[in-house]
Amino acid sequence: MGDQGSSWLPDAMSSVARDVDALFNFVLIVSTILFAAVIVSTIYFVIRYRRRSDQYVPERIKESKWLEAAWIILPTILTMIIFTWGFRVFITLSTPPPDSYQITVRAKQWFWEFEYSEGATSTSDLYVPVGKPIKLLMSSGDVIHSFFVPEFRIKHDVIPNRYTSVWFEATEVGEYRIYCTEYCGQQHSMMLGMVRVVTQEEFDDWLDEQSQDLPPVELGERLFTQYNCQVCHATDGSRLIGPPLNGLFGITREFDDGMTAVADDNYLRESIVNPGAKVVAGYPNAMVATYGSLSTKQIDALVAYLKSLE
Ligand code: CUA
């Protein structure tokens, strides 16, 4: 039942999307008609009532009470329709149904973290069951971000030291892009995520799976992708914003202050939690210290994964 997207608007994939679109289209059509009417009458009047000679004195025109009443009453009615309609949609958008499933969202430079009621967590990928209202309770760990899913027609700022929330109900199974729409630093445009809308059974299975333990290297690899590390660090030896991370363990590194150190476990750990401490020569000190908030288990897994890269 989802509307087909067009070059005009993305697919309408949430329970409120079509209400938002209907209002948008109404305002757009009314504005277009009024705009055309104003432009056409302007052109008509310019030609019809132009000054034809120096002696020409236009005849005096008596105002029409009906015409004046019409252009007061009609726009008033139109704006009241738009206000009432918009207010209703606004109330719907800002009131999550009481049976909503709550997911906590944490935005950080530059990734999204999600925590589910059962304690499971995910990064970048937001898993939700189809046909169930989902309430997102959102906050930021650093600067202002903004959570935007075009197909759901929801967008909301995510702010440090305060909760904001949005809700949606996905109408079809599928994958929908999450964008950050508030400029939040160097990798803002890469702060992408994906809403993975699955059936209730798949969602329950996924929650179960999350509680099982992965081997450290596999967990580390998963975290590496989820936290978008590959945006700045290649694992095939090529140069990105930061140095490549393969073949690193046990070699001697040179730093921009002329010091050197052997890349052992402690060096790897320090470079994750306190990236400014030792900056590899020839690279900018560009990495944020966000990752200090990872759990010990996650850091151990990342270190294990980095050691495994050849
Ligand atoms: Cu986060 Cu832009």
What does the pLDDT read at residue 298? 84
For the chain, the structural domain boundaries read 17-94, 101-208, 216-308
% of the chain beyond a pLDDT of 70: 97
Q: Which atom of ligand 1 is nearest to the CA of 109?
A: 1
Do 300 and 266 touch, CB atoms closer than 8 A? no
- CATH number belonging to domain 216-308: 1.10.760.10
**Whether pLDDT at 4 is above 80:** no
**What's domain 101-208's architecture?**
Sandwich (2.60)
Q: What does 187-228 look like in DSSP terms, one character per residue?
A: TGGG--EEEEEE-HHHHHHHHHHHTSPPPHHHHHHHHHHHTT
Cα diameter, the chain: 97
Same-fold call for 17-94 versus 101-208: no
Which of 72-76, 170-174, 200-204, 226-230 has the weakest average pLDDT? 226-230
Is residue 106 in contact with ligand 1, taking CB distance under 6 Å?
no
**Whether pLDDT at 2 is above 60:** no
* Residues forming a β-bridge with 254: 260
**What's domain 17-94's architecture?**
Orthogonal Bundle (1.10)
Question: pLDDT band at 84, cuts 50/70/90?
Answer: very high
Strand 260-262 vs strand 125-129: parallel, antiparallel, or unpaired? Answer: unpaired
Q: Rounded CA gap, 162 and 106, in Å?
A: 11
- Residues 141-153 pLDDT 10s: 999 999 999 999 9
What does the pLDDT read at residue 210? 79
Q: Rounded CA gap, 124 and 304, in Å?
A: 21
Is residue 138 in contact with ligand 1, taking CB distance under 6 Å?
no
Q: Which atom of ligand 1 is nearest to the CA of 110?
A: 1
What does the pLDDT read at residue 97? 94
- Residues 11-66 pLDDT 10s: 999 999 999 999 999 999 999 999 999 999 999 999 988 888 888 888 888 889 99
Q: Which atom of ligand 1 is nearest to the CA of 188?
A: 2
Nearest CA, atom 1, ligand 1: 145
Is residue 145 in contact with ligand 1, taking CB distance under 6 Å?
yes
